[in-house]
């Protein structure tokens, strides 16, 4: 219970303190500085309430702090009745708490429905792809996430034949806004991938669509798009501002897949560079979002790519699903109960 209280308290503090300037100012006494911070925090809480509830909160505080005592006396000056209005201030505060809890319950129910819908958009089990073993997992920072991953056959690929699209994307932001954009990303990608065009053209079309829905670049999307050709064991890829995937060769050497361009949704009419790698037996391809390597512990230290690479080296001989479990367990052990600020998604592919 204490750990859960700490997690909830930290999350609430981040919500209310995100626009508070708590940095010390030269020439301002410490007591006055903290008084100013407390006032900013109070106004941050007040601004997030509806107008009616602001009035309710101020009335409750007035009754509790001012503490007016009310009493009546008869004509002879005898004390008839008197009571302390702090009780009514406490009851108003309790009423405000109940209203906020009711809103939270309704919102939680809606978010649970949104999470179920989002699960329908993401694959539960990896498909059977010739020459590849695949495992993937995602973990939202909140109830719903802005990360997207998928592996699916693309019959409309350039050059004919069935190829497989490998996708991991991360919409800037989190929670409901990011989840909505993730859904539009998934729908447009599935639609455009059925048309006969190259991977570069697909990325350009996706960028054009995302630019029209990115609020002038504020809601951009980083993405890794890979097209796997089972006949030649070749992965043609575009890295659109995403964390460079890690290619671990069977020899133990590490390569990064960096060719590409800007994130989707920042600048229209952007061209993307295409990269190509050929997978040999026992090669690993690790595709992940920044939530993996930027996960922090209670000392605010990041998990880091070097630690991820170490885990991959240590499990290079085991199947992808077991190695993915090892990665997630190591990540959980590292962060402990520290709340995470970003969604976590990881996809592992091993060439057989």
> 193 and 78, same structural domain?
no
> 277 and 131, same structural domain?
yes
Tell me what pLDDT residue 217 has: 63
Give 43-108 as a DSSP string.
Answer: HHHHHTS-HHHHHHHHHHHHHHHH--EEEEE-TTS-EEEEEETHHHHHHHHHHHHHHHHHHHHHHH
> 281 and 163, same structural domain?
yes
In a domain, 156, yes or no: yes
Say yes or no to pLDDT of 287 above 90: yes
> 210 and 160, same structural domain?
yes
CA max distance for the chain: 106
> 250 and 135, same structural domain?
yes
> 162 and 109, same structural domain?
no
CATH for 266: 3.60.40.10
Q: Which of 89, 116, 143 is the C-terminal boundary of a domain?
A: 116
Tell me what pLDDT residue 37 has: 81
- Which of these ranges, 149-158, 192-201, 323-332, has the smallest mean pLDDT? 149-158
The mean pLDDT of 133-142, rounded to a whole number, is: 90
Give the CA dihedral 37, 43, 48, 50, nearest 10 degrees: 170
pLDDT (tens digit per residue) in 294-350 = 999 988 899 999 999 999 999 999 999 999 999 999 999 999 888 788 899 999 999
The number of distinct structural domains making up the chain is 2
> 257 and 293, same structural domain?
yes
Q: Which of 116, 135, 156 is the C-terminal boundary of a domain?
A: 116
pLDDT (tens digit per residue) in 25-67 = 777 888 887 888 888 888 888 888 888 888 888 888 888 887 6
> 138 and 48, same structural domain?
no
> 251 and 178, same structural domain?
yes
> 72 and 171, same structural domain?
no
- Which of these ranges, 26-40, 121-135, 164-178, 184-198, has the smallest mean pLDDT? 26-40
End-to-end alpha-carbon separation of the chain, Å?
46
Q: Which residues of 222-260 are buried (b: 16+ CB within 10 A; e: fewer)?
A: bbbbbbbbeeebebbbbbbbbbbbbbbbeeeeeeebebb
In a domain, 19, yes or no: no
Per the structure, the complete domain to which residue 288 belongs is given by 127-351
Q: Which of 116, 138, 155 is the C-terminal boundary of a domain?
A: 116
In a domain, 184, yes or no: yes
In a domain, 258, yes or no: yes
Tell me what pLDDT residue 249 has: 96
What average pLDDT does the chain have?
Answer: 85
In a domain, 334, yes or no: yes
In a domain, 3, yes or no: no
In a domain, 15, yes or no: no
> 67 and 148, same structural domain?
no
In a domain, 134, yes or no: yes
- pTM score: 0.77
> 92 and 237, same structural domain?
no
């Amino acid at each position: 219970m204490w750990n859960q209280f700490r997690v909830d308290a930290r999350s609430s503090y981040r919500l209310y303190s995100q626009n508070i300037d708590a940095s010390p100012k030269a020439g301002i006494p410490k007591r006055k500085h903290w008084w100013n911070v407390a006032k900013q925090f109070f106004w941050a809480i007040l601004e997030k309430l509806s107008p009616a509830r602001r009035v309710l909160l101020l009335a409750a505080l007035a009754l509790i702090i001012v503490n007016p005592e009310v009493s009546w006396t008869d004509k002879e000056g005898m004390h008839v009745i008197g009571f302390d209005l702090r009780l009514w201030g406490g009851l108003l505060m309790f009423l405000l708490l109940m209203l906020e809890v009711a809103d939270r319950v309704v919102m939680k129910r809606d978010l649970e429905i949104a999470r179920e819908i989002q699960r329908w958009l993401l694959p539960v089990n990896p498909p059977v792809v010739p020459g590849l073993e695949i495992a993937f997992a995602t973990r939202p920072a909140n109830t719903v996430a802005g990360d997207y991953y998928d592996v699916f056959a693309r019959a409309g690929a350039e050059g004919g034949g069935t190829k497989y699209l490998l996708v991991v994307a991360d919409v800037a932001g989190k929670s409901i806004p990011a989840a909505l954009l993730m859904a539009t990303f998934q729908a447009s990608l599935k639609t455009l991938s059925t048309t006969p065009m190259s991977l570069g053209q697909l990325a350009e079309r996706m960028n054009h669509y995302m630019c029209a829905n990115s609020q002038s670049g504020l809601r951009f999307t980083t993405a890794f798009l890979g097209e796997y050709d089972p006949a030649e064991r070749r992965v043609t890829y575009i890295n659109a501002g995403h964390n460079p995937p890690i290619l671990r060769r069977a020899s133990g050497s590490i390569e990064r897949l960096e060719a590409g361009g800007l994130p989707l949704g920042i600048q229209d009419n952007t061209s993307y560079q295409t990269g190509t790698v050929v997978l040999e037996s026992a090669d690993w391809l690790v595709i992940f979002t920044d939530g993996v390597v930027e996960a922090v512990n209670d000392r605010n230290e990041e998990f880091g790519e070097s630690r991820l690479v170490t885990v991959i080296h240590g499990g290079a001989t085991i199947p992808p699903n077991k190695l993915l479990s090892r990665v997630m367990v190591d990540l959980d052990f590292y962060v402990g109960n520290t709340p995470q600020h970003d969604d976590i998604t990881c996809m592992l592919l091993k060439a057989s």
